[in-house]
Structures are given as C-alpha cells and as structure tokens.
C-alpha cells in the first residue's frame, strides 16, 4: 500500500513539474513574440529617410480605405495615394533626417496598437535650403496575419504661435 502511495505521489510530482515547465516555456514564448514597437517605429523612420516610399511601404497596410494624415497635403486615402503623393513631395528633397525623442508611448489592445512619439524632421531641398520641423507622430498598428502594419498615421507639426500678451492687474 505504501509503495502505491509513493508511486502515485511521484507521478503527481512529475505531472506538476511537467506542467510548470510548459507554463514557463509558454510565458517565455509569449514574451519573445511581443513586438518591439519602438524598434519598428525607428525602422519606419529609417525607411522614410531613404526618400523612397516603396521602402516605407512594407510597414503600411495596403487597404484602399486606410487614411494617412501627413503635414502636406492634409490627407491620403490608401497606400497607393500616399506613396504617389510622398514621391512627388520628395522630388524636391535631397535629404531627410528624422530624429525621435525618447517619449514613445505604446498602447496595445490585442491585434491593435497605438504608438505616439515626438521628434524632428530635418529636410534639405535640392537648392540646399534647410528646414527643421518639430513633429508629432501617431501610428495605429494592426496585426494582419502575422505582421504588424500601420493602418492609420497622423503626422503633424505645431504651429508657431505669437507670444501671448502680458496680463496686467
């Protein structure tokens, strides 16, 4: 009887150890599968710096109804319009440098994620004129099959406001 009890206890302990291993491996796998949105944002910025929309395009949804807000013009609907529009704008650029601040915010909800970051875009046009823009960049990421793609983008720059008048009492 004691032998049966010890044998049953051993099987139970082995089953618990096996279950613990499965749980630990599953947790490690889930952590490894978590996307690195900060690195992904940097890759998108690097792709835009090439001034070739096709290189950035691998990160964007090809849904014809996807909306992308850029600094100019106001809005693109669908990747094809965005790629064509940015290609036209980039014809006047000789370089684009994007610098992101260290304020990336990530909100993930299942197969959707919203990332925000501020930064600066430094543009040199073909005449050599330089322009620097402070920017806000919001990306909505959607997991499509096994790939995270940008399904909406909002890029904007704050307006320069005149100084506020002093208030005298």
Can you tell me the mean pLDDT for 24-32? 45
Domain boundaries, the chain: 32-156
Tell me how far apart the alpha carbons of residues 116 and 38 are, in angstroms, rounded to a whole number: 10
pLDDT grade, residue 169 (50/70/90)? low
> Residue 164 has what pLDDT?
75
Does the 32-156 domain belong in CATH 3.10.450.50? yes
Model pTM score? 0.76
> Cα angle vertex 32, ends 30, 34, to 5°?
70
Q: How far apart are CA 34 and CA 115, in angstroms?
A: 15
Instruction: Reduce the DSSP state of residue 169 to 3 states and report it.
Output: coil
Low-confidence winner among 23-37, 47-61, 76-90, 106-120 (lowest mean pLDDT): 23-37
DSSP secondary structure letters along 59-128:
TB---TT-EEE-SSSS-EESHHHHHHHHHHHHTTEEEEEEEE-S--EEEEETTEEEEEEEEEEEEEETTS
pLDDT band per the 50, 70, 90 thresholds, residue 149: very high
State the average pLDDT over residues 124-148: 96
* Mean pLDDT on 20-30: 45
């Amino acid at each position: 009887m004691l032998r049966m009890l010890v044998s049953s206890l051993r099987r139970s302990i082995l089953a618990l150890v096996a279950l613990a291993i499965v749980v630990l491996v599953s947790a490690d796998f889930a952590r490894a599968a978590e996307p690195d949105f900060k690195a992904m944002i940097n890759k998108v910025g690097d792709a835009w710096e090439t001034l070739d929309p096709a290189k950035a395009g691998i990160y964007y949804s090809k849904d014809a109804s996807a909306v992308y807000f850029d600094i100019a013009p106001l809005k693109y609907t669908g990747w094809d319009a965005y790629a064509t529009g940015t290609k036209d704008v980039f014809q006047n650029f000789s370089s684009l440098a994007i610098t992101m601040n260290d304020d990336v915010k990530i909100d993930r909800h299942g197969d959707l994620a919203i990332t925000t970051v501020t930064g600066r875009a430094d543009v040199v046009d073909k005449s050599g004129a330089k322009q620097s823009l402070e920017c806000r960049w919001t990306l909505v990421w959607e997991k499509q099959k096994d790939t995270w793609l940008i399904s909406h983008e909002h890029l904007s720059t704050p307006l320069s406001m005149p100084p506020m008048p002093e208030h005298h009492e």
